[in-house]
Amino acid sequence: MSAAGAAGDTVLSRVEGRLGRLTLNRPRAINALDHAMVNTLRSALAAWEDDDAVAAVLIDGAGERGLCAGGDVRAIRASALDGDLRAAAFWRDEYLLNAHIARYAKPYAAFMDGVVMGGGVGVSAHGSVRIVTERTVLGMPETTIGFVPDVGGTYLLSRTPGETGTHLALTAGSVGAGDALYLGLADHFVPSDRLPDLAAALADAASAGDVAEVVGRFAEAAPDSELRGRRHWIDSCYAADTAEEVVERLRAHGDPEAARAAATVLAKSPTAVKVTLAALRRARELPGLEAVLEQEYRVSCAALASPDVAEGIRAQVVDKDRSPKWVPDTLEAVSDEDVARHFVPAPDGPLGLA
């Protein structure tokens, strides 16, 4: 086994047997990703892809709380307030990492245990072997902070059954293991107390076929999906053409869960809700993940100029008063032009993927 790195390293990178292991190591922040962590992950994956001694890669998170709570939103807020491109530089490297994971030449396994939010979805749900547990809490919470799902989130959520992805994106909701599997965001359910033994077994796997066989030995039947039983109102309500009509249908449906969803959507950033709906609809028509990541990069860069990003992060993370003051503060006040400006070319050009 190679050295795992110093205790203060924010990513622990080592080889155990034939398994390249990556552990996100900021447990006090639920392993939230910063720019240096993204670059470390990219370098390790590039090195192992051409290393015949490494048969597969596994990513997990340090501590007991989860794989990854997302990106470093305090740094994103600082960039928005300063009007610079630090956040854009972070997103560029992060989205290139997401694309690399999706096309990785070797099995890429992710232990999606505990909290898996935002950027945590980006480093796990694009992998080829995605493992959830009874502790998994997975979601794209961006509209809560005035932002729009990224890291390939609009690609993943635009391809879920019916309108379930639209529901999750607009409400910034989270799901457990059963729903993650139903939505196509994960592949296998393994109880959390078996993950150490699974990691040890993966270290002995000599090929991609061996990885599949090993995971199959540990996988168990997953809990039922709750969203599957809500499709009767989710599909009909979220198929509306506009966010205003989505809310109107949710309120009028009659199911108490639908009414609660309407109230949740109305509490989010109106601009983020409208841009998210447009991004999802556009993502459905794009040919693949890389084209969607290009779109997300344009949207993310444009969102930096919105006051809602800094305000949403302030309310949720900095002051924690949970009382953001959105501008504009209603869906009706967000114009088509406000939405359209999020899809213009990014200031520093495309990612170069599509």
**Annotated active-site positions, please?**
71, 119, 142, 150
Tell me how far CA of residue 171 lies from CA of 87, 219, 257, 342, 346, in angstroms: 24, 30, 12, 20, 27
Residue carrying the six token digits 């972070």: 90
Instruction: Please list, in sequence order, all residues whose beta carbon lies within 8 angstroms of the beta carbon of residue 193, skipping any fewer than 6 positions away.
Output: none
Q: Closest Cα partner for 63 from 124, 14, 2, 135?
A: 135
Backbone torsion region of residue 216, taken as left when φ is above 0, otherwise alpha when ψ lies between -120 and 50, otherwise beta: alpha
Q: Closest Cα partner for 211 from 100, 54, 14, 51?
A: 54
Rg (CA), the chain: 20
SS3 letters across 63-110: CCCEEECCECHHHHHHHHHHCCCHHHHHHHHHHHHHHHHHCCCCCEEE
Structure token digits, residue 84: 């610079």
138, β-bridge pairs? 116, 175
- DSSP H stretches of helix in the chain: 35-49, 73-82, 86-102, 119-122, 153-157, 164-171, 177-182, 195-203, 208-218, 231-238, 243-253, 256-267, 270-285, 289-303, 307-313, 336-340
CB burial of residue 215 (10 Å; 0-12, 13-18, 19+): buried
